[in-house]
Structure 1
Amino acid sequence: MSTRLFAASLVLNVFLIGALAGGAGWLIGKSNPGYSLEAAGGRLRAADRKAFRQALREVRRESRAVILDGQQARREAADLLQQPTLDANALAAALERARTADVTIRSRLEQRIVEFAASSSPQDRKLLADALLRQVGRQRPPAKNTP
């Protein structure tokens, strides 16, 4: 493998690990508070807020093994990146495990939010919808294709 290809691969993989770590942080509600569905739960009435947070805690508790596997996969990826010779296949596999864990947790959290919303008042659902719209508003709109 040429030095340039190795360096480019290393940079790309470090970027991917950072993206995965950032995604994991978002999933557990540590980044961008106030702009996620989880943070929107903080704006609910006290009783609903407590039920909402309890439901999300249950998901995390039930998913502990998946969360730990994702963290371990990221550690393995970081270790692989620090090796003198990069094992690209092992790195790809570790990153795939981390991504799978992240998607699994996000899916479980979103499903629990759906279940909560299904039994919520229209006012509570509006708070959740507002959080989604704020999240979309913080992102750049897609580039318009001009012929």
Structure 2
Amino acid sequence: MSTGRKLLIASVALNVFLAGALAGGAVWLRSGKAGQGYSLEAAGGRLPDQERRIFRKALREVRRESRQVILDGQQARREAADLLRQPALDTAALTAALERARNADVTMRARLEQRIVEFAAASSAEDRGVLAEGLTRRAGLPPAAKKSP
């Protein structure tokens, strides 16, 4: 078999593999397997395009404004990991590091949720319904029955 023919076969095989990987990734993303969770933040993924952009922008602003809190939480987790690697465990220091990490997480969650509440307060009933459906769907709850006016 000539070198050119071997390269052609290898190229075709590689292209088939890449096409399969791309198709599989697209199906995985479309099926909602990425970003699983049941947060209000994740529920915003089904908003109409313009509202989704506004929603995500608002959440990015919270993260940007809270950069120091995020960094503090990351540092506390690194300290906890370092403490766990020590030959002798300092439980008081580990407890304190984990508490700092937890406090940073709670602070971030509260800030994000507050911004989502502000977004929802300024949104239409339809958009709030989309958020509600996304929240219950991601939590694995059955859809709520439609209320008649």
Same fold (TM over 0.5): yes
How do residues 52-63 of structure 1 correspond to structure 2 at under 5 angstroms? Answer: 52-63=55-66
* CA RMSD of superposed structures (Å): 1.6
Distance in 1 between the 2:91 and 2:126 partners? 50
How do residues 1-147 of structure 1 correspond to structure 2 at under 5 angstroms? Answer: 31-32=35-36, 35-137=38-140
Contact between 2:76 and 2:101, CA under 8 Å: does it hold in 1? yes
Pairs aligned (count): 108
* AA partner of residue 37 (structure 1): L
Tell me the TM-score normalised to structure 2 length. 0.68
- What is the CA-CA distance between 1:49 and the residue it aligns to? 1.0
- What percentage of aligned pairs have identical amino acids? 71
Secondary structure of the structure 2 residue equivalent to 1:137: coil
Distance in 1 between the 2:134 and 2:44 partners? 9
Distance in 2 between the 1:65 and 1:76 partners? 16
* AA partner of residue 132 (structure 1): L
- What is the CA-CA distance between 1:130 and the residue it aligns to? 1.2
- What is the CA-CA distance between 1:46 and the residue it aligns to? 1.6
Contact between 2:44 and 2:134, CA under 8 Å: does it hold in 1? no
Distance in 2 between the 1:37 and 1:113 partners? 7
